[in-house]
Amino acid sequence: MIVLEKINKSFSGVPVINNLSFMVHQGEILGFLGPNGSGKTTTIRLLNGVITPDSGRLTVAGFNPVTAGDEVRKRCGVLTESAAFYGPMTARENLLFFADLYAVATPTRRVDELLHACGLTPHADKKVAVFSTGMKKRLGIAKALLHQPEILFLDEPTTGLDPEGARTLLDYIQELNRRFGVTIILATHLLKQVETLCHRFIFIDQGRLLADGTFAELAEKYLTAINLQVETDLEITGTEFQGFPLEKNTPGFLQFKVERKEQIPFLLKALLASGSVYSAQIYGRDLETLYFRIKEEKA
């Protein structure tokens, strides 16, 4: 659905995007990850034809955003960090206004569908000025979906939301992808929130690609050593057990360093042969740890 090949972009002589290349497949949720200022928003603007690259090639749904920006925007929806609405107007009035701009064929029906889908029907006739941040975010998604886009760009969609509001919004994003097959590019620096949501991840920093792959692929490549915490009654003296280094020893818990995940069953089998094991939990094998490991290696 999306192809970038050796894209470069500078502002006032300062490079923002550096030789960036990646692809997005139809129907996937792509986590587009990096710190603030890494080039995520600039990339989204490039893909929507708002700005043009200095060099390289772009295609979105088969169209070049530089020469066929209108065709691209017909097929894409965008939710920015702060979606703009008219506060004195109601949610319904706002959506009907934008539906007219998008030339939606049956605006009233489409607006009602989206208000319902986004859980905003009870608030449809309230002025947007009184909406909470979470409600505005949901209204922003409804706005982005008015013209039934094939691709949805979400730029920091959970910024400003409390944990419950963020989880609700991310669950809805996942449901959109599952029910309608919408291709979603989710740009964020909040790694913990999207670890289980995205099918694949792209890490960028200073406008350059650091890594690209599924979590399993990237973890296999970059997260070699694993810390395994075991809840057990077994008491161990010394700094190792059956050849596995013992990193931490506290009452009721033992933490081991394991070089490869394939060794975990052998460690647990040895522990079970010597005592009771009540639980085992892997530490240091999460998206945030993965990001810092990749950044460290690519620096």
If you write DSSP's letter for every residue of 139-174 in order, what string do you get? HHHHHHTTT--SEEEEESTTTT--HHHHHHHHHHHH
Better-scored residue on pLDDT, 232 or 173:
232
Mean pLDDT of 97-111: 94
The whole-number pLDDT of residue 8 equals 97
Q: Can you give the pLDDT at residue 299?
A: 64
Q: What is the mean pLDDT of residues 243-253?
A: 92
Torsion of the alpha carbons at 43, 292, 182 and 139, rounded to the nearest 10:
-80
Q: What is the arithmetic mean of pLDDT over 198-222?
A: 94
Using CA atoms, how far apart are residues 118 and 78, in angstroms rounded to an integer? 16
Report the candidate in 41, 69, 152, 141 with the shortest Cα–Cα distance to residue 98: 141
Asked if residue 121 has pLDDT above 80, the reply is yes
Residue 26 has pLDDT above 70, yes or no: yes
Q: What is the reported pLDDT for 286? A: 87
Q: What percentage of the chain carries pLDDT values higher than 90?
A: 63
Predicted local distance difference test score (pLDDT) of residue 259? 84
Torsion of CA 86, 92, 98, 99, to 10 degrees: -170
How does residue 68 score in pLDDT terms, banded at 50, 70 and 90?
very high
**Are 286 and 296 within 8 A, CB to CB?**
no
Confidence band, pLDDT 50/70/90 cuts, at residue 160: confident
pLDDT band at residue 163 using 50, 70 and 90 as cut-offs: confident
Question: Quick one: pLDDT band at residue 179, thresholds 50, 70, 90?
Answer: confident
The answer to whether residue 157 scores a pLDDT higher than 70 is yes
pLDDT band at residue 82 under the 50/70/90 scheme: low
Please, what's the b/e burial string for 254-268 (b: 16 or more CB within 10 A of its CB; e: otherwise)? bbbebeeeeebeebb
Per-residue pLDDT at 123 exceeds 90: yes
Confidence category of residue 284, pLDDT binned at 50, 70, 90: confident
As given in the structure block, the two tokens for residue 91 are: 């949610």
Evaluate if residue 83 carries a pLDDT over 80: no
Task: Give yes or no for residue 96 having a pLDDT over 90.
Answer: yes
Instruction: Band the pLDDT of 285: cuts 50, 70, 90.
Output: confident
Question: What integer is the mean pLDDT of 116-138?
Answer: 91
The per-residue pLDDT of the chain, averaged, comes to 91
d(CA 64, CA 23): 14
Q: Which two tokens stand for residue 203?
A: 């890490």
Q: Which of 188, 92, 98 is nearest to 143 (CA)?
A: 98
Over range 3-14, report the average pLDDT.
96
Of 95, 94, 88, the closest CA to residue 113 belongs to: 95
Which pLDDT value is given to residue 137? 86
Q: How far apart are CA 87 and CA 101, in angstroms?
A: 18
Average pLDDT of the residues in 75-102: 90
55-64, 77-86, 125-134: least confidently modelled range: 77-86
